[in-house]
Structure 1
Amino acid sequence: MSIEKLARVRDEDLRGRATGPGARALLEAVTRETPRRSAGLVRRRFVGGLAVAVALATAAVLTPVVLPGEPARATSYANSAISLERRGDWWVGVVKDPYADVARFNEAFRALGVRMTLNLVPVSPSGVGEVFRISMAPPPGTNDGFFSESLADGGLELRFPVGFPGDGWVMIGRRARAGEQYQNAASADAEGEVLEGVKVDEVTVGDLRPELARRGVTAGFQLVVPQGDGHTLRALDPAQVGDGWWVWDAQVRSADSVTLLVTRDRLPGNPLYEGGKKRR
């Protein structure tokens, strides 16, 4: 069917006839149809649909954010690095990726309105899960502080009380990657360490050298200087240290290096440990 046949008024009917039958027919058709109501409905539906679309788009990008002084809106939060939840009077966190960026850990605390900053540092095997530095106080009237332990899968579990005053900051040991220097000063003869089972106190440097070589461990040296009830340590050039120097302890530096704490002469007692070094 031709489109021309559908038209009720043709151009030739109107040409030169502003008030002819064709023009009057067109005027009547226009005035009979009142689109105001339908246009209003379309407009309102469009605005309403736009509002829903904006709301959905906004919801898709929002993450839980708690402003200072605003109560927490949730009791649990998780991302790829850590999960954190409230259990009674305790916050319990499980670090799933100890090597994640620090910001990912602290994201969980901020999302729940917890004023805590967590930092994980590389340590020797015996220091994994140990709290090395902390700046937080337990809630008034309690002695409950911060607890951490190493998990079998390499993660860490953290526990600290709800309602501690002020801002908290804590440094916890994680397993070191290959080549990373340890941030702790554990004894090298402790369980799991590079000189486990070797006597590293009240022996000479010469006594230790064969075992160090057998285990592929290099050694640096620090001089122990007794001072009243304590002591200080000073760095030594390895070339200064002879086989006859005395070792009072060995501290791990990495998976294949240690620091020997030494004096030139034998002392009447171990200057590092009152009553002598205890076996672990």
Structure 2
Amino acid sequence: MKTHDIDAAVRGLNPHRATDQVSDDAWAELSEAVTRTGTDTAPTVVRHMPRRRLVLAAACTLLIAGVVGATLVNRPHQDQPQALSFTERGDKLIVRVVDLNADPKRYNEEFKRMGLNVTVKSLAVSPPWVGQMITFSARDDEEMGQIGRVEAGEDCNGTLNASDPGCQEGVELPKNYKGHTEIVFGRPAKPGEMYYHFSSTATDKGEVLAGLTVRNKTVAELLPVIKARGVREVEYTGSADNKPLKSVPGNWYVDNAMSPADGLVTLYVSPTPFR
């Protein structure tokens, strides 16, 4: 088995240097998926989403009942709103998620109707990752090489842009694709649900502490500001050893902050300032 972007998993072990963060549960779930064997098992080559995207040419789409769905052939259920959009471009298909809250079974059923052996899994993510592809995988490098990524807002039809349902991130693959692929994308978290994927710092754009400077601020300085952002619970972790702490003095210093769930922030702290 070959695995792409092993360094992404390694970076996840050091939250202060990673570009994104995936919880232990998510790694366990995805690891199980890519290590199963058998002809009908999950794919074994995994590609985690980098920030760069594949640039694709524009493709026409058809507006159906307020969502975008491409008409390739006359298939059942095409007069109903779709969870996915399928857009034809030559001998390729561009597939985008339209309904972020749909049951994944709907996605899989629509792929099956298109004659494609593709399964979709949705995981709870922090707000800036909602609707984004977290990872996609295939059984081998040959299959992986046939799949490309499409960026939200990239080469959309007419006046559609990244805020429109039919113009979100997606994948491009051959219309006659015979491989087995699994796609994992981010969905909004349910109340009380932990994020499987979130940014390496809660101060990133779209996160709960977006734009806030936390490094070398004391805990006492930050707590009122954090709570003013709607944070309901604060946890502490030692910055040096990543061990959880029940409580810390107000004069301890903060190195970083993460938000692993709605309303929850973890502060990485130390008794001395950080260089």
TM-score by length of 1: 0.56
Is 2:230 the counterpart of 1:223? no
What's the counterpart of residue 121 of structure 1?
123
Q: Distance in 2 between matches of 1:146 and 1:158?
A: 6
Mark the runs of 5 or more structure 2 residues left unpaired by the alignment: 1-39, 41-70, 154-161
Q: Distance in 2 between matches of 1:141 and 1:258?
A: 36
Identity %, equivalent residues = 29
Per-residue CA distance 1:29-71 (angstroms, 9 max, x = gap) = xxxxxxxxxxxxxxxxxxxxxxxxxxxxxxxxxxxxxxx9xxx
Is 2:160 the counterpart of 1:158? no
Amino acid at match of 1:152: S
Distance change (3 Å), C-alpha of 1:157 and 1:197 = closer
Task: Please list, as runs of the form range in 1=range in 2, the aligned pairs for 1:102-117 lying within 5 A after superposition.
Answer: 102-117=104-119
2:137/2:144 contact within 8 Å kept = no
Mark the runs of 5 or more structure 1 residues left unpaired by the alignment: 1-67, 69-73, 227-232, 269-280
Q: Once the 2 structures are TM-superposed, how far is the Cα of residue 209 of structure 1 from its aligned partner? A: 1.0
Q: Once the 2 structures are TM-superposed, how far is the Cα of residue 105 of structure 1 from its aligned partner? A: 0.2
Q: Once the 2 structures are TM-superposed, how far is the Cα of residue 144 of structure 1 from its aligned partner? A: 5.6
1:146/1:161 contact within 8 Å kept = no
Q: 1:149 aligns with which of 144, 147, 152?
A: 152
Q: Once the 2 structures are TM-superposed, how far is the Cα of residue 94 of structure 1 from its aligned partner? A: 3.3
Amino acid at match of 2:171: R
Distance change (3 Å), C-alpha of 1:142 and 1:117 = closer
Q: Distance in 2 between matches of 1:172 and 1:182?
A: 12
What's the counterpart of residue 243 of structure 2?
234
Q: Once the 2 structures are TM-superposed, how far is the Cα of residue 115 of structure 1 from its aligned partner? A: 2.0
Q: Secondary structure at the match of 1:201?
A: coil
Higher RCO by CA contacts (8 Å cutoff, separation 6 or greater): 2
Q: Secondary structure at the match of 1:116?
A: strand
Amino acid at match of 2:92: W
Distance change (3 Å), C-alpha of 1:256 and 1:110 = same
Distance change (3 Å), C-alpha of 1:221 and 1:152 = same
1:138/1:144 contact within 8 Å kept = no
Per-residue CA distance 1:192-236 (angstroms, 9 max, x = gap) = 22112211223222221120122231211222336xxxxxx3333
Amino acid at match of 2:226: L
What's the counterpart of residue 50 of structure 2?
none
Amino acid at match of 1:167: H
Distance change (3 Å), C-alpha of 1:267 and 1:106 = same
2:236/2:267 contact within 8 Å kept = yes
Task: Please list, as runs of the form range in 1=range in 2, the aligned pairs for 1:168-187 lying within 5 A after superposition.
Answer: 168-177=181-190, 179-186=192-199, 187=201
- Matched length: 188
Q: Once the 2 structures are TM-superposed, how far is the Cα of residue 182 of structure 1 from its aligned partner? A: 2.5
What's the counterpart of residue 247 of structure 1?
254
- Asked which structure has the greater CA Rg, the reply is 1
Q: Secondary structure at the match of 2:240?
A: strand
Task: Please list, as runs of the form range in 1=range in 2, the aligned pairs for 1:46-61 lying within 5 A after superposition.
Answer: none
2:116/2:178 contact within 8 Å kept = no
Structure 1 range deviating more: 183-192 or 147-156: 147-156
